[in-house]
Amino acid sequence: MTQEERLVALRAKLEQQNKVTLSEVCEYFGISRDSARRDLVKLSQQPGLQRIRGGVMLAPISSHTEAYASRPLSDVKHRLAQAAAALLDERDHLVIDTSTILSLLPLYAGKAHCGENKLNVVTNSIDVLTAAETNDTMDVNFLGGHFDPYARAVLGAQAEQQMQQYHVNKAFIGVCALSSRGLTTNSLLEATMKQAMIAQAQQVIVVCESRKIGSDNFHHVCDLSKIDIIITDHPPQSDFQQLLDHNDIECIVVSPK
């Protein structure tokens, strides 16, 4: 078994029991203490993990990611939401993912959307649903299933299966991390929900603050090739911009206030 295969197995073990020790790694894989120590050093470099004496453990949630409800709604987030709303057209069918930025999208949709026909919206986000409550330009379909209070969204197999019943021309996807590997997240349930949304969309639009570009999380959502538009608040670095150009991804940079 290669080191990379061992790291995958160790990460899965961590998700089950919160901590792995040096002696456990030696026994589990039948390897030397030196090899096990190298594995733990490499493992501890992954997002959401921290080194402890004699092993590695899952870092407290507050040290690597914030609950959606506690994230501040900065001016940048409002400007990104406005830029996303500007892409809406009459008769659009869209899915809106969970994120603090996208929870603002319904607030600006009425200003960007003109016409007598309502926007048909699918979402799993309680915050998007609440924001859309007073927006008479939106006809909202809310995915059912298990509600995750941390993500403030419905996640899991039931919601993913319901998503398969919809075909949308635009998917607005929130970002935890974006790099040359594509879109990633710390949550497996969020990853599979985002994948279900992307699979049903003709156009995929990701919206994120520039600080999230260049970072990686554990669970893969999609490659860059699946993304059509990125909306962010600062021009990407030249090497990442080359990747966007190679994948024919349009990058919309919102202007400073």
What CATH number has the domain bearing residue 42? 1.10.10.10
Fill in the amino acid letter for 229. Answer: I
Buried-state track 126-153, b at ≥16 Cβ within 10 A, e below 16: bbbbebbeebebbebbbbebeebeebbb
Q: Are residues 49 and 98 in the same domain?
A: no
Domain boundary (48, 63, 78) is at 63
- Residue 111 vs residues 5, 55, 89, 107, 206: alpha-carbon distances, Å: 50, 54, 11, 8, 21
Q: Are residues 41 and 19 in the same domain?
A: yes
Q: Are residues 116 and 227 in the same domain?
A: yes
CB atoms within 10 A of CB 155: 24
User: Which residues of the chain carry a pLDDT beneath 50?
Assistant: 61-67, 69-70
Distance (Å, whole) CA 214 – CA 134: 36
pLDDT value of residue 47: 62
Q: Are residues 27 and 80 in the same domain?
A: no
Q: Are residues 233 and 110 in the same domain?
A: yes
Distance (Å, whole) CA 53 – CA 51: 7
**H-run or E-run covering 121:** strand 119-123
pTM over the 0.85 mark: no
Residue with token string 């809406």? 88
pLDDT value of residue 111: 55
pLDDT value of residue 136: 84
Domain boundary (23, 48, 63) is at 63
CATH number for the domain spanning 146: value is 3.40.50.1360
Q: Are residues 244 and 143 in the same domain?
A: yes
Q: Are residues 125 and 162 in the same domain?
A: yes
Q: Count of domains in the chain?
A: 2
Domain boundary (19, 45, 63) is at 63
Q: Are residues 217 and 101 in the same domain?
A: yes
Q: Write out the DSSP string of 154-217.
A: EESHHHHHHHTT--EEEEEEE-SEEETTEEEES-HHHHHHHHHHHHTEEEEEEE--GGGBT---
Q: Are residues 142 and 209 in the same domain?
A: yes
pLDDT value of residue 151: 86
Q: Are residues 165 and 179 in the same domain?
A: yes
Q: Are residues 129 and 238 in the same domain?
A: yes
Distance (Å, whole) CA 233 – CA 56: 35
Q: Are residues 123 and 139 in the same domain?
A: yes
pLDDT value of residue 113: 55
Distance (Å, whole) CA 217 – CA 187: 9
**Domain limits for position 21:** 3-63
pLDDT value of residue 63: 36
